[in-house]
Structure 1
Amino acid sequence: MAQSLLEEFYDLLGHNTVELRIQAGQGVALLYQLVRQHDNEFSWQQEECLCQLLQELTTDSHKYRAKRDRKEQRAWFRDVVHTLQNDDDENHMKCIEKVTVGPEHDREKVLLDTWCLKTQYKALCNVLGEGLNTHLTYNVGVRDVFSLGPPPDPQDHTHSPALSRSQKKINKLKESTVSKARHRTRKKNRDNKATDKTYQD
C-alpha cells in the first residue's frame, strides 16, 4: 500500500502546479513518518530517485516559476527532505510550528511537531474555520488530538470563549440600537420639560 502511494506521490512531484507539488511532498513525509512508526527500516524501492528529486525541489531556481512559489516550495521541501533523512530523529521535523489558541486572557500553545499533527490541524482549519479556536479551547475530543489536557471550566468566566466576528457585529448593533433609543427618550424628556417651562412662564 505504502509503495503504491509513494509511486503516485512521486509522479505528482513533477506537476506544474506548486500547490500540488507541495501537497505531494507533504504526503511523502507523512507516509514515511507513519510507516516508520511500525517499521524503522522501511524504504521505497525508488527512494534514491525520490530523495534526489526532493533535493532538487529545495533548490529550484527556475525563472519561469514565480518568485513567491519558489520560496514557498523550497521552504516546504527542506522540511520534507529533513524528515526522510532523519528518520531516527524524535520530532522528524526541522520546522516545528507553534499555534496560539484560546481567549486573550488565557492563551495556550499548540505544538505541531509531526506531519500527522500538522495535517490534522490543517484539516480542522478547513472544516471548522473561525470556530477552530473555540473547539481547541473547549472540545475534549479536539484537545485530546493535540494533547492539550482537560478544557477549562465553562462556568469560570475568566475562560469565556472569544466572540466571533458575527457575534461582535450583532452585539454592536444591539448596543447601537439601545443607545439610539436612550438618546431619543432623553431628547423627548428634555423637549417636554422645555414645553412645560414655557407654559409656566
Structure 2
Amino acid sequence: MPRARKGHAPRRGGQRRGGGARSSTQADSPSSDDEAASEILSHYSSTSEGASIAEENLGNEVVDEQAQQEELEEKLKECIDNVADKSAKTRLGALESLRLAFSSRVLLDFLLERRLTLTDSLEKCLKKGKGEEQSLAATVLTLLCLQMGSGPEGEELFQSLRPLLSSILTDTSANLGARHSCATALGMCCYIAAADVEDLVSCLACLESIFSGAYGEEASTAPAPLHPLHCCALQAWALLLTICPGSHISRVLDSQLPRLPRLLSSDSVHLRIAAGETIALLFELGRDLEEDFLYEDTDALCGTLRALATDSNKYRAKADRRKQRSIFRDVLHFIESGECQEETIKFGLECMYVDSWVRRRTYTAFKETLGSGVRHHLQNNELLRDIFDLGPVLVLDAAAMKASKISRFEKHLYNSAAFKARTKARSRVRDKRADVL
C-alpha cells in the first residue's frame, strides 16, 4: 500500500528574510557594516590559503575513504557472523555494533547480499534470547528495515518477522524492555514496509490493545512499570495513524478521541505528553477530513490542557515540568487556533520544516530510532527523503563537499574575526565622539 502521507511539503532553500527596522544611529553609519565585512574577510583570508592546499589532497582523501569503507565492511561481516554465535555476550556485542553502524551510515548495497542471513539470526535472537538481547535484536531489525526501504526487500523482512514481534509485544510474561522495543519495531516496520491496508489495521489493533490498558477508571491507577510500554505503543500507534485511510481515521476519532484525555492524568510525564501530542494529531487528522470538525468536550479538554501547560507542582521534577508546559502550550494553541508550532531541521546544505503534527510525529519517530544519525540519513537515505519530500539525494563533487565542511579551527578563526569586527563597529557607533545626527 503506498503511503498516503499528510502534512505540508518541506520548503527548501535559503534563509527567511528577516524584518526589524534598524536604529537611527545604524542608519546614519552605513559604512560600519562594509568595514566590518572587509575586516572579517581580511582576517579570514589566512584560512582560505590553507583550503587550496587541502584541495590538492582530495584524491588521497578519496582513497582513504575507500579504504575505510572496506575496513568497515569487513568489521560488519564479522558482526553479522557473530550475531549467530553461541556466546550471549558475543551476540550482544555484535548487535550493539550493528545498531551503531546502521544508525550512522546508509549501507543498502552491502546489506542486500546479507539480509537473509541477518534476518535469520535476528529471528533466533528474538525467539531464544533473553530480555536485553531481544530488545537489541528488535532495534537492529527496525534499522535493517529502514535500510531496506519500502521495496520488496523491506516488505519481505516485515512480513517474515511481524508475527514474532506481535507475539512478544502481547506476551505479558515477556521482558518489558523487549516489549518496548517490539512495540517500536512493529510501528516503524509497518510504517515503512506494510504492503496493504490489512497489515496496517492489524498492527494498529495490536498496539491499541497495549496502551488501552492504561485507561482503566483512572489512568493514575495503571502500574508504573507498564507506563513506558504504554507510551511506546501509543507513539507507534500514532505514527501509523499518519498513513491511515480516511475511513479508518473516522472510526478512530469516534472510538479513541473521547478516551485519550484520561491519559492526561497519568503519573508518568512521558505518557501524559504522548497522549497530548496524539490528541493534537487526531484533531489535525479530523480537520483534514472535515473543515468544520468538532469535538463535543473541547471546552473540558482545553481546561485540562491549560492546567498542564501551567503546572507548577513541586513534586514533579523541574525538567519534567518545563518540558510538559512547553509541549502542552503547543497542543492547546493548536486545538484553539489551528496553528502548529514550526521547527526547522538543518542537515548538510539543506533544511526541512516540521510544520504539522503529522510531520512532527513522523520526524520524532525516526529521530528516536536513528539518534544522532538522523541528519546523515536525511541527507543520504532515499527512504527518508521520499517520506519528507526532500527530492533525490544531492550529489556534490569532492570540492563542494570540502567547501561545505569547515574544520573546528577554521570555525574558531572565523568566529573570532567576526566577533572582533562586530565589536569595533559597535564601538564606533557607541563612541560619544561619533557624529550623531
Using structure 1 for the length normalisation, give the TM-score. Answer: 0.68
Greater than 3 Å deviation, 4+ residue runs? none
Where does 1:1-201 land on structure 2 (aligned, <5 Å)? Answer: 1-87=252-338, 92-93=339-340, 95-102=341-348, 107-153=349-395, 156-157=397-398, 158-159=400-401
Q: CA deviation at 1:145?
A: 2.5
Instruction: Report Cα offsets for 1:97-143 as digits up to 9, x if no partner.
Output: 111112xxxx2111111111111111112233343223211223311
Q: CA deviation at 1:31?
A: 0.8
Partner residue in 2 for 1:192: none
Higher relative contact order at CA 8 Å, sep ≥6: structure 1 or structure 2?
2
Pick which of 5-14 and 124-133 moved more.
124-133
Q: CA deviation at 1:84?
A: 0.4
Aligned CA RMSD, in angstroms, stands at 2.0
Which protein has the bigger helix share? 2
Change (3 A) 1:159 1:8: farther
* Higher gyration radius (CA): 1
Among all aligned residue pairs of Structure 1 and Structure 2, give the percentage whose two residues are the same amino acid: 38
> How far apart in 1 are the matches of 2:346 and 2:259?
35
> How far apart in 1 are the matches of 2:337 and 2:330?
10
Instruction: Report Cα offsets for 1:26-71 as digits up to 9, x if no partner.
Output: 0011111111011121122222211110111111111221222111
Residue 80 of structure 1 aligns to a residue whose secondary structure is: helix
> How far apart in 2 are the matches of 1:159 and 1:148?
19
Residue 7 of structure 1 aligns to a residue whose secondary structure is: coil
Partner residue in 1 for 2:53: none
Q: CA deviation at 1:144?
A: 2.8
> How far apart in 1 are the matches of 2:280 and 2:367?
20
Q: Which runs of 5+ in 2 are unaligned?
A: 1-251, 403-437
Q: Which runs of 5+ in 1 are unaligned?
A: 161-201
> How far apart in 1 are the matches of 2:362 and 2:278?
13
Partner residue in 2 for 1:174: none
> How far apart in 1 are the matches of 2:371 and 2:322?
26
Count how many residue pairs are aligned between Structure 1 and Structure 2: 151
AA partner of residue 292 (structure 2): E
